[in-house]
Every structure is written in C-alpha cells, then in structure tokens.
Amino acid sequence: MVDLGVVMPVYKQKPAFLKAAMESVLGQTFQKFKLIIVIDGAPEMEPLIRRLIQGDNRVRVVSHTFNQGVATALNTGFAQLYGMSGIQYLTWVSSDNVYYPRFLETLRNALAKGPSELGLVYSSFQSIDNEGRPLNSEQQLAIQRQYQSQRKEKLLDTSIVGVSFMYKAACAKKIDGYGNESVEDYDYWLRLTEHCEMKYIPVELMDYRVNSTFSVSAALQDTARHRKWRYAYHLARHQARMRRGISPSITVLLPLKESGVKAIERIENLYEQTFSNYTCFIIDLSADMRVTADLSTISHPSTGFKWFPHVDEVTALFHAVQMVQTKYCFVPGDLLFKDVMDLTIMHEQLEKADPKVMSNYYTHDHTDIGYRFVSTYSPKEGLHDELFRTPSLVDYLKIHYEAARGLG
C-alpha cells in the first residue's frame, strides 16, 4: 500500500537540472510513493516531463494555465494527495536539486519508527553549484550540522529545517496549506510545529543547488526582491510569536533627522540581524515627516514611526521611551552591526547578566562585550549602540533631559 506522497512544483527550469532531479526521485530505494508534478504555468516543460516519466504509474502530472507561484503549486499537489487513501507521509522536492537514493527511505523510517508526537523530520544537505560541484567541505558540513541541530525553539529565529524534510499528513491537515510566498516552507514549519515535535537527522541526504538559473535564491540578488523576501521572513516569525503569545523582548528607538543613504544603510543593517523579537520605532525628527515618507517604503512588520518635529534627539528619546513596554531597549547610532548575530549575542548576554548591569555593548574593536553598571563609571560615552534594560535607559535619559534644561 502506498503511504508516501511527494510533490514537485515545476516552472521554468533548465532541462539538465530537471532531468537530474526527476531521475534522482524516481530512482529512490523506497519505491512505494506517489509523485505529483505540478506544472505551474509553463506548458513548454510538459513534453520533457512526459519523456522523463516514461509512463511511470507512480507519477501524476497536473497543470496550471498560468503561473501562480510555488505556494499555490504546492497546495494543488497536496490536494491531489489528500484525495488518495492511505497517504501518511508527505514531502516536496525541487526541480533543480538532486536527491540521494536513500532520501525517502531514511526520512520515512524516522517518522514511522518515531514517537506519536513526532511530526516533522529533516536532515543535513550538501550545497552544489550549477555544475554540480560540492560547495561545502567536511568542516563546513560539520558546522551546518551543529547549526541545524538546535532545539525546536530556535526555529522562531531561523529556518534550521532547511531543504531536506518529511512530515506526517495527519499533522499537515491540522493547518492551512502553504502561503506567505517566498518563505512558504519556513512559514509552514512554524505553523506545523505548533502541533507536533520535530527531529534532526545529521546526515546529508541531498544536493541543494545554490543560486541556480531559475531559483528563488538567484532572484533575491536584486535589492527590491530581497527586501520583499526579508519582509515575508520577518512576517512569518512575527505572526508565529503573536499566535503563541510571545511578547517582543526589545524596543529599538532609531532617531533620524534625515532619510539619506546613511539612514537607509542603518535600517537595512538592523533588519538583517538574525534576532527578530523586537519592535522598532523610527523617531522622525524632520519638520515635514520626510523621514517617515521615505523610509516607510522599506517595509518591516514590526516597525512604526513616531514624529517629533522641532525637538532635539534627547527630548524625543525621553518622551518615546516612556511608552516602551519591553524588557530591553536599543538606540542605534552610527556604528553598524558587524555580524548578523550581534544583537542576538547582546540579548543573550544581558539576559544572563547580574541585575546590577544596566546595559551592554560591543567594545570598539568588536572583540568583546562591555557592561555598564548602575551608579558606576562606564568607559563608553553616550547611549547609542548599547542594549539597555528599559528602566535604566529611562533613568539615564531623565538625567540628561533635565541637565539639558538646567533642571538637574
């Protein structure tokens, strides 16, 4: 009895890549599966697909009359599988990757032999270029395995599941289908794992073709498309935290008088951080809301704007911080984050710090974390690029606000 269903969405694809992908799927050691190929508005691909299938009765081809995107193609394919009796396990494959012979067998066995609460399994993978050459050394693969083996909670911060996976149909039926185009898989894992546990298998089961000719990753090299992808990525995490009742941990207060290249660079740098459990308020100090008008085009699901015309930065920050409800607060300055993990590390260190520590920051050479203690001298001047406990920042700003007005 067939209990495994596989979906392959196909749009425009290089014939050689499609041939390699299909042959690797059809040649699996585990043969009892149903493959649904969804041609998503690319009728020119169908003759090649038919030749590659060679009448294989495990394969069904479905066609969209026009391109509707990966998420819709996946939903079409899985709807076909849901209509078949006996399908217990599901996965989907890309038309440009290569799947090792035991890909299906290994993932299916892990689900079948695992506890009832296990609903998603995933493995490591090798990255390859357009010519099929491996891109990761054994040392790099070891680092990747360690990264992917993080606990389930880390899925809220980054897509550790990757591109080699399988899940139970019973769990999939508890949630809506694929959506949030361009991060459809990551968004799906976040929703799926709210109903099941997941397990990592530390072995490579496939070759992932990086930046192949028609891939999403190649398209993301364009700035506008990357911003759109990044917004969807942040949105998936933001929505997951809202569903789970997880409040933001940090409020970012970014005061700006102008919206030029430097301001854009600072915002982009913030949005590229792996840490995403924050609310950001851009404090518009311009007289005509020019900052708001210009920078609102760089979308982020948890960023808002507060307009403080004709006031200085300290005054604006002093009034803005009164409304902050998060545990921590961060005021970006001229220094850019040097690593995408910087805010994560600062947050983790301050979480573990003694209560007498009011803030932390990276040292000038970025080799260490410095700390500011309550009522003691700090070698760091100012408050920018420093993660504060919010009450400490309120006290700090109050002193400087009153001093600026001769009230201290």
Domains present along the chain, CATH in parentheses:
4-223 (3.90.550.10), 247-404 (3.90.550.10)
What is the per-residue pLDDT for 229? Answer: 95
> Does residue 366 register a pLDDT over 60?
yes
Query: Token pair for residue 355?
Result: 């209560």
Mean pLDDT in residue range 52-62 = 96
Q: How far is CA 41 from the centre of its chain?
A: 27
Q: What is the pTM of this model?
A: 0.91
Q: Are the C-beta atoms of residues 256 and 318 closer than 8 Å to each other? A: no
Q: Position 150: which residue type?
A: Q
What is the per-residue pLDDT for 75? Answer: 98
What is the per-residue pLDDT for 248? Answer: 98
Mean pLDDT of the chain: 94
Q: Are the C-beta atoms of residues 220 and 111 closer than 8 Å to each other? A: no
End-to-end CA distance of the chain: 81
Sign of CA dihedral 216, 221, 224, 230: positive
Share of the chain above pLDDT 70, in %: 95
> Does residue 399 register a pLDDT over 70?
yes
Q: Rounded to 5 degrees, what are φ and ψ at 275? A: -70, 130
Cα–Cα nearest to 281, from 229, 236, 321: 321
> Does residue 408 register a pLDDT over 60?
no
What is the per-residue pLDDT for 376? Answer: 66
- CA dist., res. 41 & res. 11, Å (int): 7
Cβ count near 404 (within 10 Å): 13
Is beta strand 278-284 parallel, antiparallel or unpaired with respect to 357-362?
A: unpaired
pLDDT band at 216 (very low <50, low <70, confident <90, very high): low
**Minimum mean pLDDT range among 149-158, 279-288, 316-325, 371-380:** 371-380
What is the per-residue pLDDT for 379? Answer: 75
The secondary structure of 172-208, three-state, reads HCCCCCCCCCCCHHHHHHHHHCCCCEEEEEEEEEEEE
The DSSP line for 9-33 is: EESS--HHHHHHHHHHHHT-S---E
**253-279, pLDDT tens digit by residue?**
999 999 999 999 999 999 999 999 999
The DSSP line for 286-325 is: -SSSHHHHHHTTS--TTEEEEE-TT--HHHHHHHHHTT--
